């Protein structure tokens, strides 16, 4: 669409069509208003479907891309679209300088004969804004991140040794494939300011609830709290670090639940 279009001429042509009592009703299909030069066929096209009004369902069925369609009408022709009290979408008559046909009808039906209708409030159309139909995407920014590279395979092996059961409560989250879900937790967190070591003695297998409790310093830990298995030992120095630096209260961890497997 040409950026040099005469938008006032487009609006005037649209006004005349709206006010033309002999204008045939829209019959469906790709019928458009021809407003001057702008396309290869000699017409810049504006949607005739919006002269008499249409539901959003019909607009989407016959036009598609409604948000961009409304946006191009405003950008290329300075024609706004509004949703009336009957739920139909039309060209905004107020923007075109035309009387509000629906509010006039409403006034006439609401006021008894021989009564002054000056106190009747007109119906206000709800403006249709493209942003309401197509929410803007969140902004993206380019950032540089420095992070600790941890051995994910090490945490995976610790969880496998414990059968993906929490070392504090013995619970797991059953998954559809028959396996269980648990999370690996570093008692002395990696990276600044804790600078913990990425070793098996610093990793425990926890359910999401106990993982969050440890991260937030909600529970104090001791060696006897942890369920043990062959091949994995929790380091006492890391437990001490948790208690002295991460732990923020006085609550003791509840005794571990009995192992469903009897171990």
Please provide the average confidence, as pLDDT, over all residues in the chain: 77
Residue 238 pLDDT > 90, yes or no? yes
Give, as one character, the DSSP assignment of residue 156. Answer: H
Is 125 found in the same domain as 97? yes
Strands (E), the chain: 32-34, 45-47, 81-83, 89-91, 126-127, 173-174, 180-181, 183-186, 203-206
Is 107 found in the same domain as 16? yes
Residue ending a domain, choose from 102, 133, 164: 133
Task: Assess if residue 128 is contained within a domain.
Answer: yes
Q: What tens digit of pLDDT does each residue of 24-42 get? A: 776 665 545 545 444 444 4
Is 128 found in the same domain as 27? yes
Is 78 found in the same domain as 19? yes
Q: What tens digit of pLDDT does each residue of 145-173 get? A: 766 666 678 999 999 999 999 999 999 99
Task: Assess if residue 160 is contained within a domain.
Answer: yes
| Residue numbers of the domain that contains 212 | 152-246
Is 233 found in the same domain as 169? yes
Is 190 found in the same domain as 232? yes
Task: Assess if residue 146 is contained within a domain.
Answer: no
Question: What is the count of structural domains for the chain?
Answer: 2
Write down the pLDDT at residue 56: 84
Is 232 found in the same domain as 163? yes
Is 124 found in the same domain as 160? no
| Reported pTM | 0.44
Is 104 found in the same domain as 53? yes
Is 113 found in the same domain as 31? yes
Write down the pLDDT at residue 27: 64
Task: Assess if residue 263 is contained within a domain.
Answer: no
Is 119 found in the same domain as 36? yes
Give, as one character, the DSSP assignment of residue 89. Answer: E
Write down the pLDDT at residue 36: 43
Q: What tens digit of pLDDT does each residue of 90-142 get? A: 888 888 888 876 544 443 333 344 445 444 444 444 555 544 555 566 778 88
Task: Assess if residue 144 is contained within a domain.
Answer: no
Average pLDDT over residues 11-36: 70
Residue ending a domain, choose from 81, 101, 133: 133
Is 165 found in the same domain as 66? no
Give, as one character, the DSSP assignment of residue 139. Answer: P
Write down the pLDDT at residue 82: 86
Q: Is residue 220 within 8 Å of residue 250, measured between CB atoms? A: yes
- Kindly indicate the confidence band of residue 79, based on its pLDDT and cuts at 50, 70 and 90: confident
Average pLDDT over residues 190-203: 91
For residues 72 and 36, the model is more confident at 72
């Amino acid at each position: 669409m040409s950026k040099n279009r005469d938008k006032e001429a487009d609006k005037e042509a649209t006004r005349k069509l709206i006010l033309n009592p002999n204008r045939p009703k829209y019959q469906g299909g790709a019928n458009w208003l021809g407003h001057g030069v702008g396309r290869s066929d000699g017409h810049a096209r504006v949607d005739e479907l919006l002269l008499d009004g249409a539901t959003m369902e019909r607009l989407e069925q016959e036009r598609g891309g409604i948000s961009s369609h409304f946006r191009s009408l405003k950008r290329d022709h300075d024609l706004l679209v509004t949703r009336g009290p009957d739920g139909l979408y039309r060209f905004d008559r107020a923007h075109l300088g035309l009387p509000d046909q629906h509010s006039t009808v409403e006034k006439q039906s609401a006021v008894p004969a021989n009564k002054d209708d000056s106190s009747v409030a007109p119906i206000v159309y709800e403006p249709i804004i493209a942003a309401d139909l197509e929410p803007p995407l969140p902004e993206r920014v380019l950032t540089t991140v420095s992070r600790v590279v941890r051995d994910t395979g090490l945490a995976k092996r610790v969880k496998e040794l414990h059968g993906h059961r929490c070392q504090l409560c013995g619970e797991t989250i059953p998954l559809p494939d028959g396996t269980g879900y648990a999370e690996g937790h570093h008692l002395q967190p990696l990276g600044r300011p804790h600078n913990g070591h990425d070793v098996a003695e610093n990793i425990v297998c926890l359910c999401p609830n106990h993982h969050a409790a440890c991260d937030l310093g909600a529970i104090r830990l001791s060696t006897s709290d942890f369920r043990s298995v062959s091949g994995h030992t929790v380091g006492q120095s890391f437990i001490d670090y948790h208690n002295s630096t991460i732990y923020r209260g006085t609550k003791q961890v509840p005794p571990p639940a009995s192992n469903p497997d009897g171990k």
